[in-house]
Amino acid sequence: MSVPTDSNAKFAEYAHPEAIVSTEWLAANLTNPDVVVVESDEDVLLYEIGHIPGAVKIDWHTDLNDPVLRDYVHGEAFAELLSSKGITRDSTVIIYGDKSNWWAAYALWVFKLFGHADVRLLDGGRDKWIEEGRELTSEQPPLTRSSYPVIERNDAPIRAFLADTLAHIGKPMIDVRSAEEYSGERTHMPAYPEEGALRGGHIPGAASVPWAKAANEDSTFKSRAELEAIYLDGAGLKPGDDVIAYCRIGERSSHTWFVLNYLLGFTGVRNYDGSWTEWGSAVRVPIVKGALPGSL
Amino acid sequence: MTDLPTVLAQTKEDFLDLGDKDKIQLLIEFAEELPELPAEYQDHPELLEKVEECQSPVYIFVDVTDGLVAVHATAPIQAPTTRGFASILVQGLSGLNVEEALGIPDDFPSTLGLNTLISPLRVRGMTGMLWRMKRQIREKTSA
């Protein structure tokens, strides 16, 4: 790896310190030609009102989703996107975003579907950078087009589909949505729009760990010891477990996927991106209502 | 089909006339123009309704006085898309009479040419906002 790992003491505790950098580290490495900074937000206009100098924007909805199928873009579109942003297959990509990096983690997960080797998250994301009074600009960086190769996605290791998830029932699963979504409570008041799924509840056996439990107030990730208390002691995961995480459309569960995979070192974690908008509308899949995980 | 009220019709025309980059800029301008909540609502958060369809915290309040509509909304500075959506509706609905406001088509947000640029999922947040505003107008005029 040409770009050094952040030697921050908190990160050294994590299973993969090379997957995360601090704001200090990024400030010192902004001009490194091997580093490309990518902003990826829930709010699609944030980049325009101010971003980290030199950062490019990749939007999850408009850039990474296939415009027709409910799927991610394929190799050619991904190659075109990354080439247009000046990213090469060897670039060290640092992704940051709003909302404790929830969408940044999603973008990172998609980069990993394409096997991009060196992608890291900025701990604390956009909020921390701004909180520390660091420089922002609304100027677009001058981009030199690169030539990113066409790589087909390899979904299987980190992405679960409906059938995979159905077969996984009985093994560890984490539902990262809010407690109300997990229990299946709905707002049944008249003239309120229906949610994006026909049924409420959760997948049998899934433990409820809302994604934001992994984040501190300042949007940074919690320490390894705190994360172990949440996911090992609290949710009952054991090292070596195969885990599936899901939420509503797979975005919040990417954050949890990142935590389990890179910070705690689980090797068999998959994100079920169909998530509740698929499961809660699928015919005859089992559902449990209420606050307890339940079983088949 | 009723005609769109003047301000919203103008907003729609402005968006449809612009290229993608300028559309973004116009939405940012709307975000910047969202007025502060009047003081009486700042002290009474319970009066405000949260728009659950938006992923950023946005709250709205509709007031109907003498048959005229006033709409207020608040959303964080770090949520410009949501603020922009709210601002379009606050400017477009305020001052209308009840009939004009209720006559705004529910699909107005998706007619601004923003679906490809912003994503249908996000534009749905603005649809939820409009829906809730119209519901509040109905509640406040039937009482």
- Residue B107 falls inside a structural domain: yes
Average pLDDT over residues B45-57: 77
pTM attached to this predicted model = 0.91
Residues of A with catalytic roles: 247
State the total domains in chain B: 1
Cα–Cα distance measured from residue A100 to residue A215, given in angstroms and rounded to the nearest whole number:
7
* B142 has a pLDDT exceeding 60: yes
Interface size A-B, in CB pairs within 8 Å, comes to: 53
User: Residue A181: in which H helix or E strand, if any?
Assistant: helix A179-183
pLDDT tens for A89-108 read 999 999 999 999 999 999 99
Strands A268-272 and A242-246, bridge-based pairing: parallel
Closest listed residue to residue B79, CA positions, set B120, B36, B40, B31: B31
Q: How much is the pLDDT for A157?
A: 97
* Range scoring the smallest mean pLDDT among A114-118, A120-124, A251-255, B122-126: B122-126
Taking CB atoms and an 8 Å limit, are B131 and A191 in contact across chains?
Answer: yes
Q: How far apart are CA A184 and CA B121, in angstroms?
A: 22
Angstroms from A135 CA to nearest CA on chain B? 16
For A232-291, the pLDDT digits (tens) are 999 999 999 999 999 988 999 999 999 999 999 999 999 999 999 999 999 999 999 999
Residue A283: predicted pLDDT: 97
Over the stretch B76-134, which tens digit does the pLDDT of each residue have?
998 999 999 999 999 999 999 999 999 999 999 999 999 888 888 889 889 999 999 99
Whether residue B57 lies inside any domain: the answer is yes
Question: Confidence class of residue A211 from pLDDT cuts 50, 70 and 90?
Answer: very high
> Residue B22: what pLDDT?
94
pLDDT of B103: 96
pLDDT of amino acid B92: 97
* Structural domain boundaries, residue B83: 6-142
- Closest by Cα among A166, A168, A184, A174 to A291: A184
Q: What's the pLDDT at A197?
A: 84
Which residues numbered 165-194 in A keep a CB inside 8 Å of some CB on B?
187, 191-193
**ipTM of the prediction:** 0.83
Predicted local confidence at residue B119, as pLDDT: 84
Residue A187 banded pLDDT, cuts 50, 70, 90: very low
Of B24, B55, B138, the CB nearest to A45: B24
pLDDT at B54 over 70: no
How far A284 CA lies from chain B's nearest CA (Å)?
A: 27
Q: Is residue B106 part of a domain?
A: yes
The answer to whether position B87 is within a domain reads yes
Residue A150: helix, strand or coil by DSSP? coil
Q: Has residue B129 been placed in a domain?
A: yes
Note whether residue B69 is domain-resident.
Answer: yes
* Average per-residue pLDDT for chain A: 94
Test mutation, B24, B81, B114, chain A, max A CBs within 10 A: B81
pLDDT for res B50: 81
Share of chain B above pLDDT 70, in %: 96
Residue listed under structure tokens 């947040």: B125
How would you label A128-137 residue by residue, b for 16+ Cβ within 10 Å and e otherwise? bbbeeeeeee
A43 contacts B78? CB cut-off 8 A: yes
Average pLDDT over residues B31-43: 88
Residue of B nearest to A65 (CA): B119
Q: Of A147-151, B25-29, B36-40, B51-55, where does mean pLDDT reach its minimum?
A: B51-55
Query: No. of H helices and E strands in chain A?
Result: 11, 10
So what's the pLDDT on residue A261? 98
For testing contact with chain B, the best of A42, A43, A106 (most B CBs within 10 A): A43
Is there a domain that residue B26 lies in?
yes
What average pLDDT is seen over chain B? 91
Alpha carbons B122 and A42: distance in angstroms, whole number: 9
Residue A29, CB-side half-sphere exposure with 13 Å CA sphere:
19
Cα-Cα-Cα-Cα dihedral sign, residues A49, A106, A266, A235: positive
Query: Cα-Cα-Cα-Cα dihedral of A262, A232, A254, A9, to 10°?
Result: -40
Residue A61 pLDDT = 85
Q: Is residue B1 part of a domain?
A: no
Kindly tell me if the per-residue pLDDT of B1 is higher than 70.
no
Lowest-confidence region among A29-38, A58-67, A69-78, A224-233: A58-67
CATH number of the domain residue B58 falls in? 3.90.1010.10
pLDDT band at A32; cut points 50, 70, 90: very high
CB atoms A42 and B56 under 8 Å? yes
From residue B140, give the alpha-carbon distance in Å to each of A141, A181, A219, B12, B67: 50, 30, 40, 27, 10
pLDDT band (50, 70, 90) for residue A188: very low
Span A42-47, average pLDDT: 92
Helix (H, G, I), strand (E, B), or coil: what is residue B68? strand
Contact A78, A86 (CB under 8 A): no
For a pLDDT cut of 70, what percent of chain A falls above it? 96
The answer, for B142 touching chain A at a CB cutoff of 8 Å, is no
pLDDT of A194 reads: 52
For the segment A202-209, the average pLDDT, to the nearest whole number, is 97
